[in-house]
Amino acid sequence: MTVITSTTPLAEGPSGRKPQHFSPARIGVYVFLIMAAAFFLLPLYVMVMTSLKTMPEIRQGNIFALPQAWTVEAWSQAWSSACTGLNCGGIRVGFWNSVKILIPSMILSIFIASLTGYALSFWRVAGANVLFAILLLGAFIPYQVFLYPLVRLYAGIGIYSTLPCIIITHTVFGLPVLTLLFRNYYASLPLELFKAARVDGAGLWQIFFLLMLPMSIPILVVAGILQVTGIWNDFLFGVVFAGRENLPMTVQLNNIVNSTQGEKLYNVNMAATILTALVPLIVYFGSGRWFVRGITSGAVKG
C-alpha cells in the first residue's frame, strides 16, 4: 500500500502579503472620526469650561482656556437661584415639572402603543390596515398644524394649561411612531407562539401580559429612550399647553437665558443648559447598548 504524504507543512499559515496596520484608508477613517468627535465635543467643552469660570474671567474672552479659579457657584445658582423675571427659583422648578410630565406621559404612550401594535399584529382587527395608515399619517403632519384646534378643544373641556393637558398631548403625539415600532417588532416574532397560547386557552390580555411583554424588553427600552428624549427636550408643547405653574425645564431654561433684566451671566446660562440636557445624556449613555439591540431585533422590520 502506497502512503501519500504532503510536502506542505501543516503549521504553515496562509501565504500572501501581511496586511498593513496603518493603511491610507484606515488613517483617513481615523482622521475623519477625530474631526467629527472634535466638532461635537468642542461646544460641550466650551460650555463646561465657561460654567466653571467667574464672570470677570469670562469677560477676558479666552473661551477655550481652562478656568484660572475653578468654581461651581454658577451651577448652584443655575439650579436654585437663577432669575426668570421676578421669579428667582432657579431651574429646579422646571426640573420637577418635567419629571411630573415625563413619567405619566411615557408610561401611557408606551402602554397604549404596545397594546395597539400587539393587536394590529396578531388579532387582525377589521379595518386594522386603514387604522394603522391613519395613525402613521399623524406622524408626518407638522405639530404646529394641531396647536390651535387642540387649544380650542382643551379649553372647551376645561383642562387647558393644566398638567393633564400636557400629559395627554405628549401621549397622543407619541403614539404613531411607537405603534409602528411595536407593530413591526411583534410582526417579527414567530406566529406559532401566539397560536400555541391561543390553543392553551389564553385570551388577549393574558397573551399580552404573560407572553408578549416579557419578550419586548429590547423594544420597550427603545421606546423609553425615544419618549424620554422627545418629552424632556420638548419646548413647543410645554410653552403652549403646560400652563404657568407646570412649565418644563426647557421653557425655564429659555426664560433664564433670554432674561432681559440685569447682567448676562454666561456661566449660569451654560450651567443651566448642561443641567437641562443631563437627563437625556444619562439615558443615552446608560442604555445605548439596549437601544442598538432593540433597533436590530425587529424595530425596523416590516
- pLDDT tens figures, 260-298: 666 788 999 999 999 999 998 888 887 766 666 666 655
- At residue 115, the pLDDT reads 92
Mean pLDDT of 60-83: 89
> Cα dist. 134→114, 119, 127, 230 in Å?
17, 16, 11, 22
Q: Are residues 115 and 215 in the same domain?
A: yes
Among 94, 249, 95, 108, smallest CA distance to 170 is for: 108
Verify that 106 and 164 share a domain, yes or no: yes
Q: Outline where the chain has alpha helix (H).
A: 24-51, 55-58, 73-80, 92-122, 128-137, 144-157, 163-187, 191-199, 204-207, 217-232, 236-241, 249-257, 266-294
What residue has cell string 393637558?
165
The set of cell numbers assigned to 6 is 504532503
Domain co-membership, 62 together with 121: no
Residue with the three cell numbers 478656568: 67
Mark whether 54 and 198 lie in a shared domain. no
Q: Could you tell me what percent of the chain has a pLDDT over 70?
A: 86
What pLDDT shows up at residue 131? 78
105 and 61 in a common domain: no
One domain, residues 47 and 105: no
Could you tell me the CA-to-CA distances from 27 to 23, 31, 132 in Å, in that order? Answer: 6, 6, 47
Query: Whole domain around residue 46: which residue ranges?
Result: 29-71
Same domain, 164 and 35: no
Domain assignment of residue 90, yes or no: no
Calpha distance 139→180 (Å, rounded): 10
Q: How many separate domains does the chain show?
A: 2
- Is 176 within the bounds of a domain? yes
Q: What span, in angstroms and rounded, lies between the C-alpha atoms of 266 and 58?
A: 8
CA 170 – CA 228 distance, rounded (Å): 11
> For residues 82 and 237, which has the higher predicted lDDT (pLDDT)?
237
Coil vs helix vs strand at 81: coil
For the record, the C-alpha cell of 145 comes out as: 398644524
156 falls in which pLDDT band (50, 70, 90)? very high
Shared-domain flag, residues 165 and 229? yes
Same domain, 127 and 176: yes
- Nearest Cα neighbor of 67 from 79, 78, 55, 77 is 55
- Quote the CA–CA distance of 180 and 34 in Å, as a whole number: 36
**DSSP letter, residue 140:** G
Do 105 and 206 have their domain in common? yes
Q: Does 86 map to a domain? A: no
Length of the chain (residues): 302
Residue 154 burial (CB count, 10 A): 20
Helix (H) or strand (E) holding 143: none
Sign of CA dihedral 206, 209, 214, 217: positive
Q: 171 in a domain, yes or no?
A: yes
Residues 207 and 153 in one domain: yes
Question: What's the DSSP call for residue 84?
Answer: B
Please write the tens of the pLDDT for every residue from 198-256.
888 888 889 899 888 888 888 998 899 999 999 999 999 999 999 888 999 999 999 88
Q: Which amino acid is at 257?
A: V
Establish how many alpha carbons lie within 13 A of residue 128's alpha carbon, considering only the half-sphere containing its beta carbon: 14
Do 169 and 45 lie in one domain? The reply is no
- Contact of 85 with 259, CB cutoff 8 Å: yes
Q: Of 164, 166, 181, nearest to 116 (Cα)? A: 181
Q: What is the pTM of this model?
A: 0.82
Angle in degrees, CA 250, 255, 259, rounded to 5: 150
